[in-house]
Structure 1
């Protein structure tokens, strides 16, 4: 319900002062009601006028109100059109590529989600893959102590599903590396910036322009900057429990993705209270670390989801799929729509009056 409401259009007007013309509609509506009430009082005092009215109008009842109401609605639509309305609409995204990053760290063996975190993440990834349009390419990045492309973006769902199924838990977690490898798989032109960050060198990516900045020392990269979340041709989806102990910081990698406009949706797999996991005779409690996953999503203009149990799988999938399918907001002038609506209502008012009463109005 919330997603449906968020996709409703939000209106604004280029010439809002013209909306004062709607007062004319109220005046005309009031005048019509006054004349109708006067006519009804006259027929009470002079019953003979009712017979004359029937002969003139061809009938009484609700039909005589239809044409005036349609005419008033037509005038309303035309006045709104004069005010040049704009609607901010949530439009279907034109995503061409989705890169899935799946955490294979040892903590993903935990069974606070049945049968395990890794199996729940794989299942969620397969469900998301299955409903992608055939025109969308899907890639897979395996993330553990290091990260690597397990499947280059492909339109073959069988190949991608097989790559997801082959993934096995390993040791270590390099969430930042996983994001950077996914970014380069999605945008090869980001490779140089990603490599500098992975090599612990100070990267010099494009930075988002700051509105109103008066600095004259802006670099060429500043002039080419894009807004976070503005890249509409692709997105990254991360399935992880959020724990990271290797590679560059996840937030640094997210900021690099943001400078390229790439959204990184994150899905937290696990429970905040976690469970005790024993590996090679050593035991430790592994918890879902939502903080870093939320920061990554927020930094890139995306959203964070939590997958606490398999029963929530469909809910998370629907929300994530809706974001991938309808996350492109644009401002469109809809003056032509209201103009056409006004013309249509006026035509209907005239035709119905002509049909029922033998006159235009």
Structure 2
């Protein structure tokens, strides 16, 4: 918690002094003992009441005063608020290894289905683009707000040889830059990249990470597949293990997050988690009215208890 007017916290000093004075008064009262000739008679004259009732109204009053002091200082709290607009590019690996069937029905089919659901959950005001990459990159759908068309383009994807992860990131960056025309506001942007292997073609992921970091565009990566994945070419099985470490390095260098998914269910969970994070930002919001309202409510409760139990406000 931060404060717009920190000096207002000085109001808490007399509140602390009042609390200390109350405690001193209680200790002094305990020193005096009134002697009665017949203690059994005292029990009949004065009904027994829980000791905490004597102190609860005073304690609540002190809490109300303390909250009022906080309200004077105008407190702020970090609050998650949704972006009204943003640009998201979904980059999908379409190399031959994505035909491996360690994920049912195969890596590619499950990846495209999950990507479609991810696009569907994004706010309608977000620009969404789709980039595919194997040995070369293809802009399947330039970023715009036509999410339905972006999902339809996923059904036309085919696989190819090699894997150009760095090129996929750089092409995605170019698409993000194309959204910002002359005189237009630069929007928050994010790249979500899914791959199952290491870079084997084009410019390096390290160079792409530098470009993305310089542009202030995080790249969140999803390492998709299992360590035991194989691709059957009709004659023998070719091992195609996922390279999670390389993708984690890419996301870390750009300020994004890295994920791993070894099944279609896990991939859908990852996409849901990414969607719930990239659509929001954290900013400081003043909460003075809420603190003041709580202070008033606590004060009213203290007064109500005091009236109910002792027939007085305080």
Task: Tell whether 2:220 aligns with 1:269.
Answer: no
Which structure is larger by alpha-carbon Rg, 1 or 2? Answer: 2
20, 25, 34: which one aligns with 1:27: 20
CA RMSD of aligned residues (A): 3.7
Tell whether 2:249 aligns with 1:295: yes
Q: Which residue in 1 is equivalent to 2:199?
A: 244
Q: Which residue does the alignment assign to 2:259?
A: 305
Q: Are 1:260 and 2:253 counterparts?
A: no
Q: Secondary structure at the match of 2:131?
A: strand
Distance 2:197 2:21 in 1: 63
Q: Which moved more, 1:153-162 or 1:89-98?
A: 89-98
Shift of 1:305: 0.8
SS at match of 1:98: strand
Per the normalisation by structure 1, the TM-score is: 0.70
Cα separation, 2, equivalents of 1:244 and 1:121: 19
2:130 touches 2:142 (CA, 8 Å); kept in 1? yes
Contact persistence 1:29–1:72 (CA under 8 A): no
CA distance in 2, matches of 1:119, 1:145: 19
Deviation for aligned residue 1:331? 3.5
In structure 2, runs of 5+ residues without a counterpart are none
C-alpha change, 1:48 and 1:305, in structure 2 (3 Å) is: same
Distance 1:259 1:82, change over 3 A: same
Q: Give the paired residue count.
A: 305
Matches within 5 A, 1:224-243: 233-243=188-198
**Cα distance between partner residues in 2 of 1:113 and 1:137:** 30
Deviation at 1:184, TM superposition (A): 2.0
Partners of 1:73 and 1:43 in 2: CA distance: 35
Instruction: Tell me by how many angstroms 1:82 deviates.
Output: 5.4
1:256–1:53 distance in 2 versus 1, CA, 3 Å: farther
Structure 1 stretch displaced more, 338-347 or 157-166: 338-347
Deviation readout 1:86-118 (Å, 9 max, x if unpaired): 433444444533211111011111222222211
- Please give the alpha-carbon distance, in whole angstroms, between the structure 2 residues aligned to 1:123 and 1:85: 45
Q: How many Å separate the matches in 1 of 2:104 and 2:18?
A: 63
Does 2:273 align with 1:319?
Answer: yes
- Correspondence for 1:178 among 168, 175, 188: 168
* DSSP 3-state at the match of 1:187: helix
Match of 1:164 in 2: 154
Contact 1:43 1:49 in 2 (8 A): no
Q: Which moved more, 1:42-51 or 1:85-94?
A: 42-51
CA contact (8 A) 1:101 1:142 kept: yes
Q: CA deviation at 1:296?
A: 1.7
1:111 aligns with 2:104: no
- Unaligned stretches of 5+ residues in structure 1: 1-10, 192-230
Equivalent residue, structure 1, for 2:178:
188
Q: Could you state the TM-score of these two structures normalised by the residue count of structure 2?
A: 0.79
Structure 1 distance, partners of 2:60, 2:99, is 66
**CA-to-aligned-CA distance 1:284-304 (integer Å, 9 cap, x gap):** 422211122112211221101
Q: How does 1:203-242 map to 2 (within 5 A)?
A: 233-242=188-197
CA distance in 2: counterparts of 1:331 and 1:85, whole angstroms: 10
2:143 is matched with which residue? 153
Which of these residues, 58, 67, 70, is aligned with residue 68 of structure 1? 58
Residue of structure 2 equivalent to 1:329:
282
Counterpart selection for 1:286 from 240, 246, 254: 240
**SS state of the match for residue 322, structure 1?**
helix
Measured in 2, the distance between the counterparts of 1:50 and 1:263 equals 73
C-alpha distance in 2 between matches for 1:96 and 1:233: 5
Kindly indicate whether the alpha-carbon contact (under 8 Å) linking 1:251 and 1:292 is maintained by their aligned counterparts in 2. no
| Counterpart contact for 1:270–1:288, Cα < 8 Å | yes
